[in-house]
Amino acid sequence: MPVNRYASCIERVTPFTRIVAAVAVLGSAVAVLVAPASATADPPPNPSDSQISAAQAQKSQLATQVGQLSAQVTQLQAALDQARQAAQLAEQKVALALQQLQDAQDAAASAKQEVTTAENAVDQAQAKFNAFIRATYINGPSSGTTGELLTASDPDALLQHSAYVRYATQHQLDALGELNKATVAKSNADAAARGAVQKQQAAEQAAQQAKQAADEASQAAARQEQSTAATLASSQQQLQTAQQTLATLNNQRAAYDAYQAEQARIRAEQAAAAAAAEAAARATSGSGGGNNGGGVAVAPTANGGWTPAAGQTAANRALAELGVPYSFAAGNERGATYGCSCDYDSRNDSHVFGFDCSGLVLYAWAPYIHGMAHYAASQYSQAGHVHPNVASLMPGDLVFWSDNGQQSGIGHVAIYIGNGNVVQAPQSGDHIRITPLGQVESGYYGATRPLT
């Protein structure tokens, strides 16, 4: 099954890589800013390793603090929500208590009205009874049926009078009974109403207290949330400042490294020119033999051809491309090319003239190595057989990252330039830049020293 020789050249970018994005602008101008006419130009500022380490430590500490404060804000928000819910429940209890109190007051008013109605009925009965008493007094007392018959002028009137007496007496008793019942009912109603009112007043008081407590808890939670949020905002601002400081130091270090590399290139060119001039002079005077074709030999030997000068030359060739755009599957031994629009990230790369990560390696080492695959995983073993550790890296060494910890998972390659930095072609939309080795991405796999 054929291998896609470009697929693994896409860099998996970490968030921290973006922090040093300002190197891009610097990189595009390095060739102009740090290409002096001689190797004695004044160097740019070079922050110390302790300054960069301190800035990294401060950033990490503040990032941890921001995370902790964010968790506190979340917890306080949950507590605030609970307090607000408790306040809402207390308000509902108050509303219920007020409704029940109103119902009790309405019941008491109804009972009072019933008592008033009963009292009115008694008053009416009492008035009729009083009329009966007056009539009896005016007409004289009756001594039974016999006396009434002797004094009555009309037997029919006598019968009517007797019926009235019985009627009045009976209705008086009824009225008195109703009065007694109404009085008892009024007393009971008043007692029940008073009990209901007292009970609902107690419930209302308890509900008001509950609401007050819930409101106080809600307000306290809100104050705490505001205080923590303010602290969080301050810490975030400090974190941004720390990130900017670290990015500035990284940029300064990158500029200094680029300056050093350019100075080394100038010195190498001067040395080569001097050697060529000396060789030409010897040839002219007859003291030297023939040349090897008019230039320095660049082909590697079968049993190892790596030298520090070869590594520095490869690093310098890559540094000379700082600021050139990244283009997926672009670049070869002759230089930059147009890339490939193979996926969403690289959708415009067919119109971008530049390099991808392994294409930059092909160009950097072109004076010494021919025929390497345009594929980072293959370059790990094709470029050389010596794989130095990080502490032993030299300029020109290739460094690799893998997403599964194996050579088959290698997806990115960069070129070491010294002082803990690499030159790399990161991803579509970016450009060739200098980056600290530890800040390229996760999954560092290892290194290869070409020509070994």
Are 351 and 296 in contact, with CB atoms under 8 Å apart?
A: no
Bridge partner residues of 309 (DSSP): none
Q: Is 151 a domain residue?
A: yes
Q: According to the model, what pLDDT value does residue 172 have?
A: 64
- Residues 204, 325: one domain? no
pLDDT: which is higher, 217 or 449: 449
Q: Do the domain assignments include residue 174?
A: yes
CA–chain centroid gap for 245, Å, is: 23
Examine residue 343 and state whether it is found in any structural domain, yes or no: yes
Asked if residue 387 is part of any domain, the answer here is yes
pLDDT-derived band at 278 (thresholds 50, 70, 90) equals low
Which residue from 155, 166, 170 is spatially nearest to 125, judged by alpha carbons? 170
Whether the CB-CB separation of 368 and 310 falls below 8 Å is answered with yes
* Band of residue 215 on the pLDDT scale cut at 50, 70, 90: confident
User: Is the domain of 312 the same as that of 237?
Assistant: no
Assess if residue 53 is contained within a domain: no
Return d(Cα 413, Cα 390) in angstroms, integer: 14
Position 191 confidence tier, pLDDT thresholds 50, 70, 90 = confident
Residues 175 and 304 in one domain: no
**Do residues 232 and 318 both lie within one domain?**
no
**Does pLDDT of 321 surpass 90?**
yes
Reference 254, options 447, 418, 54, 55; nearest CA is: 418
State how far the Cα of 39 lies from the Cα of 32, in Å rounded to an integer. 14
Q: Using the CB atoms, write b or e for 314-340: b if 16+ within 10 Å.
A: bbbbbbbbbbbbbbbbbbebebbbebb
Are 360 and 423 within one domain?
yes
CATH code of the domain containing 316: 3.90.1720.10
Domain co-membership, 451 together with 318: yes
Say if residue 311's pLDDT is above 60. Answer: yes
* Most confident of the following: 98-112, 136-150, 259-273, 299-313: 98-112
Q: Is residue 153 part of a domain?
A: yes
Whether residues 317 and 427 fall in one domain? yes
Number of domains in the chain: 2
> What is the pTM (predicted TM-score) of this model?
0.39
Give domain status of residue 5, yes or no.
Answer: no
Domain that holds residue 141: 69-244
309 and 448, same domain (yes or no): yes
How many other C-beta atoms lie within 10 A of the C-beta of residue 441?
A: 21
Q: Mind listing the pLDDT tens digit for each residue in 36-95?
A: 444 556 788 888 888 888 988 888 888 888 888 889 888 888 888 888 788 778 778 878
Domain co-membership, 310 together with 452 = yes
Judged by average pLDDT, the poorest of 38-42, 193-197, 221-225, 364-368 is 38-42
Structure confidence by residue, pLDDT tens digits, 384-406:
999 999 999 999 999 999 999 99
Q: How far apart are CA 173 and CA 175, in angstroms?
A: 5
Considering the domain architecture, whether residues 222 and 301 belong to the same structural domain is answered as no
Last residue of a domain, one of 244, 278, 305: 244
Residue that finishes a domain, picked among 211, 244, 277: 244
Do residues 310 and 210 share a domain? no
436 assigned to some structural domain: yes
Decide which of 244, 278, 311 is a domain's last residue: 244
Regarding whether 85 and 230 lie in a shared domain, the answer is yes
- Looking at residue 19, its pLDDT comes to 35
